[in-house]
Structure 1
Amino acid sequence: MLLSIIQGIFNKKSDTQLNELVWKAKSGDEEVMNELLIAFTPFMKKTASFVCNRFIDDSDEEFSIAMVGFHEAVLKYKPEENASLQTFAHLIMKRRLIDHIRKEAVRTANVLLTIDDDVDAKPREYAFDESSIFSYSEERRAEERREEMAEYATLLQEYGLSFRELAEVSPKHADSRKTAFQIAQIMAETPEFYEHLLENKRLPMKQLEHIVEVSRKTIERHRKYIIAVTLLLNNDFTYIKEYVKGELI
């Protein structure tokens, strides 16, 4: 009975009703949580298959990991802060699966190789080393910031963007900005999507539509902002990234 209600919600695209079910699951309603897991099973398999680049079914360990990631996403999901549940869950599941793939690679090789460095790369990328920062004079730090801004501006020009234009088109509402930022994060963390952006200077709209639970019109409306944030996240702009640390999932 509950499953049919959930499926009806999906068909009607009712965010309010879905959020109510998520709230019940977060509050300890195991029946609702189980029904959500069942209803989103195809989405979990699709995400796992996408990340692993092969077909994933119920018997694969990767499916179990995706399910654990989705369960975690439901418990952490905050409608007022995050994008849609589907977009948020995709990011969480993908990270859990990548962690699994890395651990399996280490176990198979029986040596750490460079995997250990890769595992820690993302946190270091967005964090400052305070001791090294304060060793610079204020003048030197200001110069480095100016150099980063100039480099970022040059990169944006390759995509027909400028700081002035971004200030005009950036989402004004917090929820819209969060949605656009999380789409950019998916872009930055998905090699196929990022390569498409680099090669074609535009977003892979069809692929994004299948992953994020927002309309093509919404993605297109925030296209310039999404591209700019994607480029920021995947390039070495340490000072500029400090301003967006709070947006990262």
Structure 2
Amino acid sequence: METFDWQKGRTFLNYVYLLIQRDLIDYFRKENREHDLLIQSLPTNEDNQPLDIEAVASIQVYNQSTSSTNLVEEILELDERLFNFNISFEELEYHCPKHKDTRLMLVDLASEFTKCRELVNELLEKKQFPVSKFTKKTGARPKTIERHRKYLITLIIIKLHPEWTHLSSFVQFEPGSVK
């Protein structure tokens, strides 16, 4: 409750849902780690003696917690940006294409979109996807664009923020990957 901010424009339930979901994911990942992998990956000191298992484990837990904290921060920033487009982070699950080739096609379309500064500016200023201008420029079908509009906007926003390294790692931004 202490970290929730009412002025950010999201509901408390959505915020709590996101935090609980991330904590559960972290817990299950931690539990699934095998003890043998920890011992095999132990660093050694100058005498080739393994370092203290507890020290190495605490370092790994620290690295994982900072990584998950960074991911949560990136997700919250994305959620703020999506709020401006009337898109909630939770509804993206329903708008994500089920087929891999469709997802790859949308990644290609997002890459094409971000190459045109005029289209990006219009999207960011008006908070609406310029379907007609984009279809004229790329030849993409308007029905496809409209069907996957929310997912496409999300990909574009992630592409426009390369500092979100954790989120970007979940999306393959290689143009031409469909062909």
Which TM bucket (shorter chain)?
0.5 to 0.7
- Identify the match of residue 158 of structure 1 among 84, 106, 109: 84
1:147-195 Cα shifts (integer Å, max 9, x gaps): 1111111111111111221110111122222222211111222211110
Whole-angstrom distance in 2 between the partners of 1:211 and 1:232: 21
Whether 1:181 aligns to 2:107 is yes
Query: Structure 1 regions of 5+ residues with no counterpart?
Result: 1-133
Whether 1:203 aligns to 2:129 is yes
Whole-angstrom distance in 1 between the partners of 2:151 and 2:68: 25
Deviation (angstroms), 1:229? 0.4
State whether residues 134 and 140 of structure 2, in contact with CA within 8 Å, keep that contact through their aligned partners in structure 1.
no
Deviation (angstroms), 1:212? 2.5
Q: Report 1:89-100 matches (<5 A).
A: none
Whether 1:220 aligns to 2:146 is yes
State whether residues 171 and 177 of structure 1, in contact with CA within 8 Å, keep that contact through their aligned partners in structure 2.
yes
Corresponding residue of 1:50: none
1:65-93 Cα shifts (integer Å, max 9, x gaps): xxxxxxxxxxxxxxxxxxxxxxxxxxxxx
Deviation (angstroms), 1:203? 1.4
Partner SS, residue 164 of structure 1: coil
State whether residues 188 and 231 of structure 1, in contact with CA within 8 Å, keep that contact through their aligned partners in structure 2.
no
Letter in 2 for 1:212: T
Query: Structure 2 regions of 5+ residues with no counterpart?
Result: 1-59
Q: Which runs of 4+ in 1 moved over 4 A?
A: none
Whole-angstrom distance in 1 between the partners of 2:130 and 2:82: 18
Deviation (angstroms), 1:214? 2.8
Whether 1:231 aligns to 2:157 is yes
Letter in 1 for 2:63: S
Partner SS, residue 137 of structure 1: helix
Task: Tell me the TM-score normalised to structure 1 length.
Answer: 0.43
Partner SS, residue 244 of structure 1: coil
Number of aligned residue pairs: give it: 114
> Higher helix share goes to which structure?
1
Task: Tell me the TM-score normalised to structure 2 length.
Answer: 0.59
Whole-angstrom distance in 1 between the partners of 2:136 and 2:129: 13
Whole-angstrom distance in 2 between the partners of 1:138 and 1:172: 30
Letter in 2 for 1:165: E
Whether 1:190 aligns to 2:116 is yes
Corresponding residue of 1:17: none
Whole-angstrom distance in 1 between the partners of 2:66 and 2:141: 45
Letter in 2 for 1:240: L
Letter in 2 for 1:174: K
Letter in 2 for 1:238: T
Q: Report 1:1-249 matches (<5 A).
A: 137-235=63-161, 236-245=163-172, 247-249=173-175
